[in-house]
Structure 1
Amino acid sequence: MARRLKVFRTAIGFHDAYVAAPSRKAALDAWGSDHDLFATGAAELVTEPELTREPLEKPGTVIRRARGTADEHLASIEKDRPKRSRAAAPPRRAPPRPSRAAVDRAEAALAEAEAARRAELDEVVRKIEALSRRKRQLEAKHRRAIDRLTRALDERRSDYDDRLARWREER
């Protein structure tokens, strides 16, 4: 035999949620609540016939009905109250201007680093130019020495070839 259905109600915003269920637990499950709304007084059993008719026709289904009229809802909204005038607050002092010292130090450090870079690069360029000059000088010096030694070798070979030819004739 089916259990007798009871109608329960809880408030959801501007609506009442009605459900026909065999027990409070079944009503809480239908509303999707994990908390016992009956213990806190947020849900109750409904016995008025005109309020129980529709939920009993659709057991287990949550039926929502507006609580009051739109006029009653609008009346419940707080009216604009005149704002309290505040006592004139003492004028606030402007915060002090931030210190530029850190920016100045950073700019000075950057300028110093750039000057050091330029000086070091200039020194490297001077050394490269000096080494290029030294290389050209050494190449010229060695070219002259090699030319001189090549001429001497040619003379000695020529002299040797002449003596060798004479020696062969004498033999």
Structure 2
Amino acid sequence: MAAKRKLKVFRTPIGFHDAYVAASSRRAALEAWGSDADLFARGIAELVTDDALTAEPLASPGQVIKRLRGSAEEQLAALPAAAPSPKRPGRRSSDRKAKRGGSQGEEARASSKKTPKSKPRPRSKPRPSRAALDRAEQGLEALVAAQAQEEAALREREQALERTRRDLNTRHQRDRKTAELRVRKAREAHTDALQHWIDDQG
């Protein structure tokens, strides 16, 4: 079996008391005091070796023994002195303050009456809408596009008429030449026939 660790007595202040505990380690002492902080590292807790102070804690290991620190007179002396109560102003001084306050209030009211009220700022007019301008521009664009289409269609018709005119002129010239050739041949035939007739009459 492992030998039991020797008990030590530790002390930490709690209010007007010193809390003693007999424990096997600092950690056990902190658990007995219910402290999560390392009071030893902060210098608040310490090891006690005085036999007169360790006898009672060693008789009750693990139990916190509280002892009053100093006398009642010493504890009362350690308390902070009470702050002196403020003196009440005399009647005359309060009356003077009331009079000054009244005169100041009257002056403030008089100055507020004299101050002219600021005129309300006129509301700024809304920015003009360009909806009508947008519609007019869109109408102009549509008109220009429609006119361009009409002009293109007219040019196509003009080109078609020009082709028709050229074809017509070509056909007219061909037909006229044919007719003129027929007339010339007919005249020659008539001239020959007339000459034969004259010869036969002589």
Q: Taking structure 2 as the reference length, what is the TM-score of the superposition?
A: 0.41
Instruction: Give the greater-gyration-radius structure (CA).
Output: 2
Q: Taking structure 1 as the reference length, what is the TM-score of the superposition?
A: 0.48
